[in-house]
Amino acid sequence: MNIIPNASLLSFNTFGIDVKADYFVEYDSATDLQAILQSEIVKSNRILHIGSGSNLLFLDDFKGVVLHSAIHSIKKIDENSDSVYLEVGSSVNWDDFVAYCVENGWGGVENLSLIPGEIGAAAVQNIGAYGVEVQDVIIEVNAVEIETAKIRNFSSIECHYGYRESIFKNQLKNKFIITSVVFKLDKKPVFKLNYQHFEEAVLKNGAIDLKNIRKTIIEIRESKLPDPKILGNAGSFFMNPVIPKQHFFDLQVKYPHIPHYFVSETEEKVPAAWLIDQCGWKGIQIGNAAVHDKQALVLVNKGGATGAEIVFLAEQIQKSVKEKFGIELHPEVNYIN
């Protein structure tokens, strides 16, 4: 157990907000985590568990203990002629894991290339892109209960996955810490290419295989999403709103080119990026916070922004989208104060 008092969180949030935590504690096994959870420092303080901080926004210094996993292992736990089962430590970088799978010829996560963050957070957030969500390949999530320090395994069904949703963001929010995730990957991959013009883009790079799919996704993401090492950001700031069908049809009369995704017979999903762009926000800066000039769904730190500046910009955007389209935007990023 490694305890650092008065620790800087600057390198632990991709927005690049310069805040501190009273204590920063790292562990490298589930057993080590169990001991930490029973220690005085954790029992007597508020705790926050973070991954690489790619989906959170600090509004202030964190009064309490920030916990971080250093469980880096990748273990093959089973295999048959069709599939391979891997248990992956919660602090493994998500994209390193994708690269490892692609190099080995195992399919299932290639469409999720270059998503920032670590394995544990990916399983909480149910990360998704280009027609794939991580829930499609998760078999089991291993976790430790914060209050009792007991180990519990969740099947994928028990995780209650939905669009950027899981039980760990709802009923069990702040109750469990994920230590590892078991994935099932395909030795005979079935490629998912039906997102917008994705198949054409892959074909431009050559044959349809895991390596070219990964290469194409990396090119697409790099062309519109800013590198957090250069420009602080947390990817999509808002979730894409799901609205009643009738509301969508009303909007379609006024805006015939409105992009949309089918959700169900009663609901339709509309891209938040399009709504924000239509309100004229792309590239707009207020203080040190701005809307990215290549993707309106991404808010960026132009240098030295505070959490409050980013939230102020987010609130102005929410207000104008509500006024123009009657739609509430909800942040995908977690606000921490």
CB 62 within 8 A of CB 43: no
| 259 is a site residue for ligand EPU (CB under 6 A) | yes
Residue 14: name the closest of 53, 50, 61, 62 by CA. 53
Instruction: Tell me whether strands 242-244 and 20-27 are parallel, antiparallel or unpaired.
Output: unpaired
What distance, in Å, lies between the first and last C-alpha atoms of the chain? Answer: 25
| 235 is a site residue for ligand EPU (CB under 6 A) | yes
Does the active-site annotation cover 236?
yes
**Closer residue to ligand EPU, CB minimum distance, 25 or 134:** 134
Residue 240: CB minimum distance to ligand EPU, A: 5
Q: Which two tokens stand for residue 32?
A: 């080590």
One residue of 72, 282, 302, 322 binding ligand EPU per CB under 6 A: 282
CB 219 within 8 A of CB 289: no
**Binding residues among 237-256 for ligand EPU as defined by CB under 6 A:** 239-240
One residue of 41, 145, 277, 286 binding ligand EPU per CB under 6 A: 277
Given 164, 180, 214, 268, which residue is catalytic? 164
Does the active-site annotation cover 118?
no
Q: How do the residues of the chain divide into helix, strand and coil, expressed in percent and rounded to 5?
A: 30, 30, 40
Residues contacting ligand EPU: total by CB under 6 A:
16
Instruction: Tell me whether strands 138-145 and 132-133 are parallel, antiparallel or unpaired.
Output: unpaired
CB 94 within 8 A of CB 198: no
Does the active-site annotation cover 164?
yes
**Closer residue to ligand EPU, CB minimum distance, 7 or 213:** 213
**Closer residue to ligand EPU, CB minimum distance, 36 or 317:** 317
Determine the residue with CB nearest ligand EPU. 235
One residue of 273, 279, 290, 299 binding ligand EPU per CB under 6 A: 273
| 192 is a site residue for ligand EPU (CB under 6 A) | no
φ/ψ of 261, rounded to 5, equals: -125, 135
CB 52 within 8 A of CB 93: yes
Given 113, 166, 180, 236, which residue is catalytic? 236
CB 298 within 8 A of CB 275: no
Which residues are near ligand EPU by CB under 6 A? 129-130, 235-236, 239-240, 259, 271, 273-274, 277, 282, 295-297, 332
Catalytic residues: 164, 236, 332
